[in-house]
Structure 1
Amino acid sequence: MSWQLILSRPEENPGPAVITSLMFGGAAQNQAVPAQEYYVGIFPHSKLGDRAPYGQQTGPATADAVMFSQFQLDGQWIFAMDSGVTQDFTFNEGISLIYEAHGQQELDAMWAALSAVPEAEACGWLKDKFGVSWQIIPDNLGELMSKPGAYEKLMGMKKINIAEF
């Protein structure tokens, strides 16, 4: 895991102490802006924030790529940037973002909007078109998992089907 420390002025713009930051490199190079615009379009209560484009070609980053940007998904701040140096890695399943859906209809809609790699689907996990891994789970998953045989049922699912618990 990598950490990025950012000096801020909390008296001017208070925010959370820990924020997810996505580095778009490798196969996802120069996709930070399209990704956040896509995500903001499908998640409720979301918005774009500040962006700092490179302004000129910087390594593999195009002039329009961002060295820093921020956006909110369902009220949660996320930072994103395009790598300014060539990377031999991109996103993988070691890190995933979790979205708690309110009922099967919302779960189905989020799954349909995000899932882009069918072979990566398992137990509520999916991979989107930018290579980011997600867990789309019902907001009552703890309750569902307390039912007899729940683990075995979950292990047999790709997209979670609440009614099957």
Structure 2
Amino acid sequence: MQKISTCLWFDGNAEEAVHFYMSIFKNSKIESIMYYGKAGPGEEGTVLSMTFQLDGQQLMALNGGPQYKFTPAISFFVSCESQQEVDELWEKLCEGGEKGRCAWLTDKYGVSWQIVPTALGDMLQDKDAEKAAKVMRAMLEMDKIDIEILKQAYAG
């Protein structure tokens, strides 16, 4: 068990969201489910919270109600090793959500994600400042990150 994990506050659809995320990320599982009892405040027998893993990362989903909403101030940063992985995660997480700029998207539950190829970080940290600047300029023009375009900017 992780000492620190993220808790996501949902408005009655935590279980649906957990199953959606688990369908996208490998190495995922539900660890535990807690239900509201007679004391409430939710309807007895409905999901209060779920502890789960996405690709080995422990998270919690809470059906807390409509008081709080997700914002892009907190996002999940997903490191991808290939364009295929970027494409797959981007398309699945965007389904019903909203595409953003520079690797950002908001899924259909309002959760923000950054789908980033590891190659981007490598190029941005290059000792050649001009190469890194070219990559940055290319990235700033993108929604979903395209590794081949980054490579062209890097080489150019």
TM-score (structure 1 length as normaliser): 0.79
Cα offset, 1:96, TM superposition: 0.2
Residue 102 of structure 2 corresponds to residue 123 of structure 1:
yes
In the alignment, the residues of structure 1 paired with residue 15 and residue 22 of structure 2 have an alpha-carbon distance, to the nearest angstrom, of 11
Instruction: Report the residue type matching 1:67 in the other structure.
Output: L
Give 5+ residue unaligned stretches, structure 2.
151-156
2:58 partner amino acid: W
Alignment match, 1:20: 6
Moved more, 15-24 or 102-111: 15-24
Alpha-carbon shift at residue 137 of structure 1 (Å): 0.6
Deviations 1:20-64 (A, max 9, x none): 11111xxxx1111000111111101111110001146945x4445
SS at match of 2:142: coil
How many residues matched?
143
TM-score, normalization by structure 2: 0.83
Partner residue in 1 for 2:146: 161
Task: Tell me which structure has the larger Cα radius of gyration.
Answer: 2
Letter in 1 for 2:5: I
Which residue of the other structure, out of 79, 82, 90, is the alignment partner of 1:111?
90
CA RMSD of superposed structures (Å): 1.9
The alignment partner of 2:101 has SS state of coil
User: How much does 1:154 deviate?
Assistant: 1.0
Give the match for residue 15 of structure 2: 33
Runs of 4+ in 1 over 2 A off after TM superposition: 55-59, 61-68
The gaps in structure 1 that reach 5 residues or longer are 1-14
Q: Pick which of 131-140 and 63-72 moved more.
A: 63-72
Residues 79 and 138 of structure 1: is their aligned pair in 2 closer, same or farther, counting only changes over 3 Å? same
State the match for 2:36 in structure 1.
54
Q: Match of 2:61?
A: 80
1:45 to 27, 33, 39: 27
3-state DSSP class of the match of 1:140?
helix
Which structure features the higher share of helix residues? 2
